[in-house]
Structure 1
Amino acid sequence: MTQTVIPCRVALVGGGRMGAGIAQVFATLGSVVVIAEAGDRRAAFDRVATGLRRAGERGKLGNLDVEDILARVTTVGAPTDLPSDFDLVVEAVPEDPALKADVLAAVDKTVDSQAVIASNTSSLSITELGAVLADPGRFLGMHFFNPVPASALVEIVRAPATADTVVTRAQGWVAALGKAEVVVNDSPGFATSRLGVCLGLEAIRMVEEGVADADAIDRAMELGYRHPMGPLRSTDLVGLDVRLAIAEHLAATLGPRFEPPKLLRDKVARGELGRKSGQGFFTWNTAMAGAPR
């Protein structure tokens, strides 16, 4: 049985697209949210504000007032600047194992011992990341998907050391957010990234080999297999640099079937990172909330 445990006190470490999205959904449900952002704190707050205003314009907030929700969101600088009294702390910094380990170690020393600590990593080992904590039993993966407010799924990743009660608490938060959860055991790429990257890399190879253009490949998967979004638009949405990093990690841990295609490496080298740069496998109109053109 899961329990609904909203509102609660939630901290996000990392105020980029993912961290801001997670902050937005918890604040909307009534949680007090603090974002620790070592870079531009104002930009992190503005991402939450922009997401909320767009949700309001689309009628997704009901009778809730954007400013009332934003009043529950504050920012600090380093993780060590966080208060200690949180129910949940989610690390959402870039997919760099050393950076994540440093952040998690700082969080572990800062927040109270009863807080659940989670990583939003999409592929890195929860077991290895949790090794920096004094009590790895309070640590797990909570893999949210982009865009967080619209995505229905959270992948909960348990390591061998993760306590059952911690998994249960995470399930309760996911349910309270109106999302579905799948619980998977710690393994390279978990379930979602492993399968999603496999499909995305093969689609990139097909473009590279001239089998079909990106639009045709995506339409084939959307119409023929009822995928809501084709693998190349999905790659653009995730970010080609993010997908490359995950593929490199999976190739190192699972073997050469995950070796990134040259086309992916070339696009990342040129700065064609997908929606966030305006160009990936498609050209994106970032002024129109990410609509491809």
Structure 2
Amino acid sequence: MTAPEAVVPKVVAVVGGGRMGAGVAQVFAVAGSVVCLVERDPAAAAAARDRVAMGLLRASEKGALSESADSVLERLVLLDDLAGLNPGTDLVVEAVPEEAELKIRVLAAAEQAVGESTVLASNTSSLSITGLAEGLRRPERFLGMHFFNPVPASKLVEIVTGPQTGEAALEATRGWVAGLGKSEIVVRDSPGFATSRLGVLLGLEAIRMLEEGVAEAEAIDRAMELGYRHPMGPLRSTDLVGLDVRLAIAEHLHRELGERFAPPALLRDKVARGELGRKTGQGFFTWDAS
């Protein structure tokens, strides 16, 4: 597979303005795209804008922007209805919660609002691209575009192709990933793709080791960081992703791939107590609320 030509899409729509969606909106706006950020109501849209603004401020403080944060933010357009999308939108990235029925509804509504050449992508980390395409009239322009948290700092985008994904959609997406200054891997649709399948399996085993008293959380993580040169250990990574998110993915993979993905009781207990990781201040580690 030859290296793609880096291209920045003119207009991108991001549906869902949570941590992931705001991060996706930020990187496209920084690259120069006009970004339409769609949330369910004006209050949620305003909160999403604040997330993008805070991310841009942090990037500016680190010297990572070539223009002012305010200039980048001017390219962000807030919408509370998919019907308001520009038919000329190049790319729609769906970034709503990991619920298949919700994603199918959102993607179908987005397809109705945009033009025939718009590429539709889901940021799902584990759900079947083939299944999500069932509500689309033209599944050949749909694929997975799996970003990683935190989106601005992560260098990887996992592109997931379904059996009906067309070559034109794939090549356009590869070029856009390059335009963001990121690298891509292309994988076919299968449970957990490549990254979630490997990452969740490692994370679950680390949780089992902690549950069994093999070592403390810090020691387990340092084993992978120093012994295998992982930039972050599996337990801290789970805190960053969110224990609830990791549990949902593990349950899905457990159903699809069997007992090796069975969630440990410790993970279920922490989620039940609301210890979800960095976003709540407590997971396998304690996080600064700021």
* TM-score interval, smaller chain: over 0.9
1:86-125 superposed Cα distances (whole Å, 9 cap, x missing partner): 0000000010011111111111111111000000000000
Superposed displacement of residue 7, structure 1: 4.3
> Which among 202, 206, 210 is matched to residue 207 of structure 1?
210
Q: Which residue of 2 aligns with 1:34?
A: 36
Q: Please name the residue that 2:51 is paired with.
A: 47
State whether residues 144 and 153 of structure 1, in contact with CA within 8 Å, keep that contact through their aligned partners in structure 2: yes
CA contact (8 A) 2:9 2:90 kept: no
The answer to whether residue 261 in structure 2 is matched with residue 267 in structure 1 is: no
Aligned amino acid, residue 50 of structure 1: M
> Given residue 269 of structure 1, which amino acid in structure 2 is its aligned partner?
A
Superposed, which structure 2 residues align to 1:108-119 within 5 Å?
Answer: 108-119=111-122
Instruction: Give the match for residue 217 of structure 1.
Output: 220
Alignment RMSD: 0.9
Q: Answer yes or no: is the 8 Å Cα contact 1:3–1:169 preserved in 2.
A: no
Structure 2: runs of 5+ lacking an equivalent: none
1:173 maps to 2:176: yes
Out of 147, 151, 157, which is 2:150 matched to? 147
Identify the residue that residue 91 of structure 2 maps to in structure 1. 88
* Structure 1: gaps (5+ residues): 288-293
Normalization by structure 2: what TM-score?
0.97
For the Cα contact (< 8 Å) 1:152–1:179, is it kept in 2? yes
SS where residue 27 of structure 2 aligns? helix
Mapped to 2, the partners of 1:242 and 1:25 lie a distance apart of 22
Contact kept, 8 Å, 1:156 with 1:183, in 2: the verdict is yes
Instruction: Give the whole-Å Cα distance in 1 for the aligned partners of 2:57 and 2:96.
Output: 24
Whole-Å separation in 2 of the counterparts to 1:77 and 1:51: 21
- 1:80 CA displacement: 2.6
Q: Distance in 2 between matches of 1:236 and 1:49?
A: 23
Correspondence 1:240 to 2:243: yes
For normalisation by structure 1, the TM-score amounts to 0.96
Aligned length: 286
2:108 to 101, 105, 108: 105
* Partners of 1:52 and 1:66 within 8 A in 2: yes
Aligned position for 1:291? none
Indicate conservation of the 8 Å contact 1:157/1:186, yes or no: yes
Instruction: Quote the Cα distance in structure 2 between the aligned partners of 1:141 and 1:45.
Output: 24
Code of the residue aligned with 1:205 in structure 2: it is: R
